[in-house]
Amino acid sequence: MSGASRCLLACSNFLTFLVSLPLMASVMITHFSSHTSCSHYLLHPLFVIGIVLFVVSILGMIGSCYRITFMLWFYQWLMFLLIFVLLCFTVLSVVEVHSGMRKGVSGESPRLQQFSDWLQMNVVDRQNWLGIKACLSETKICSSPEISPPARGLYRPIKNGCCKPPAHCGYKLKNGTVWTVPSSGLASRDHDCIMWSSEPNTLCYDCESCKAGVLSRIQEDWWRLSIIACCLIAFLVINFMVGCCAFRSSRAFDKYQRCGYKS
């Protein structure tokens, strides 16, 4: 039983090791080949996840193959911490997504007020928004030819909120992203209507509708990530249980050796 648990733990961590390598490699390649700050801003969390999986898998393989009890103990604690963090992220994702869906109105463009205060304060606050706005500008998301047709549906909330003035403002479309004020004046003088500019690097990037579009896109990503996180948690829980068996067998083996030496 002890040999089977150690072999199973080594194999499962080898799979985790294989997953972490291309993840870290893709992040590093994108980091050095990209000339925009947007990719760096988005890829840092992925790199951290890749490093954690790499370290955990190495500890699990070495500890199981060489019966190193302390390393297996450390592996178990790291695994427990990783499962706990993923659980917190999954619960937060589900709560935030559910909150936005509950407060949103079907058929309308998303509004900033429909999202939770936590998302507004921690995702699109003044400091973080500078980086997000730079990403939107550098990737030219408002230029339709720059985005492939399959991806346009994914970015529709952002394009609707950031690339054109809100419909209630009363702007008239001249061409492309150029909107003009009608002779009768704007229909509304709210914050978003005043902030709009036809300048390609400005557009409506400082509008609340743009922030709402970004948060709507983030919620969709969080929903997908929460599903992936649930699958990963199930895999890690199995690893954790197998690791417990391997840890107990390694500790029993150490105790047996000590007793043998005394005799």
Dump pLDDT digits (tens) for 70-88.
Answer: 887 888 888 889 889 888 8
Instruction: Please answer whether residues 211 and 114 qualify as being in contact, where contact means their C-beta atoms are separated by less than 8 angstroms.
Output: no
Model confidence pLDDT, tens digit, residues 189-205: 888 989 988 888 888 99
Residue 36 has pLDDT above 80, yes or no: no
pLDDT score of 76: 85
Query: Looking at the domain assignment, is residue 159 inside a domain?
Result: no
Query: Looking at the domain assignment, is residue 175 inside a domain?
Result: no
pLDDT score of 263: 39
pLDDT score of 109: 63
pLDDT band at 254 (very low <50, low <70, confident <90, very high): low
Instruction: Please answer whether residues 177 and 142 qualify as being in contact, where contact means their C-beta atoms are separated by less than 8 angstroms.
Output: yes
pLDDT score of 107: 45
pLDDT band at 40 (very low <50, low <70, confident <90, very high): low
Query: Looking at the domain assignment, is residue 100 inside a domain?
Result: yes
The mean pLDDT of the chain is 77
Number of domains in the chain: 1
Query: What CA–CA distance (Å, rounded) separates 60 from 69?
Result: 11
Helix, strand, or coil here: 216? helix
Query: Looking at the domain assignment, is residue 171 inside a domain?
Result: no
Residue 250 has pLDDT above 50, yes or no: yes
Shortest CA distance to 79 belongs to which of 242, 246, 251, 239? 239
pLDDT band at 133 (very low <50, low <70, confident <90, very high): confident
Query: Looking at the domain assignment, is residue 129 inside a domain?
Result: yes
Instruction: Please answer whether residues 179 and 164 qualify as being in contact, where contact means their C-beta atoms are separated by less than 8 angstroms.
Output: yes
Query: Looking at the domain assignment, is residue 67 inside a domain?
Result: yes
Residue 4 has pLDDT above 50, yes or no: yes
Query: Looking at the domain assignment, is residue 52 inside a domain?
Result: yes
Amino acid at 67: R
Instruction: Please answer whether residues 61 and 13 qualify as being in contact, where contact means their C-beta atoms are separated by less than 8 angstroms.
Output: yes
Range of the domain at 58: 2-145+221-262
pLDDT score of 150: 40
pLDDT band at 248 (very low <50, low <70, confident <90, very high): confident
Length of the chain equals: 263
Query: What CA–CA distance (Å, rounded) separates 169 from 242?
Result: 61
Query: What CA–CA distance (Å, rounded) separates 191 from 179?
Result: 17
pLDDT band at 105 (very low <50, low <70, confident <90, very high): very low
Query: Looking at the domain assignment, is residue 206 inside a domain?
Result: no
Least confident piece of the model among 131-145, 148-162, 169-183, 220-234 = 148-162
Q: What is the DSSP string of 18-56?
A: HHHHHHHHHHHHHHHH--SHHHHHHHHHHHHHHHHHHHH
CB atoms near residue 185 (< 10 Å): 9
Query: What CA–CA distance (Å, rounded) separates 169 from 263?
Result: 89
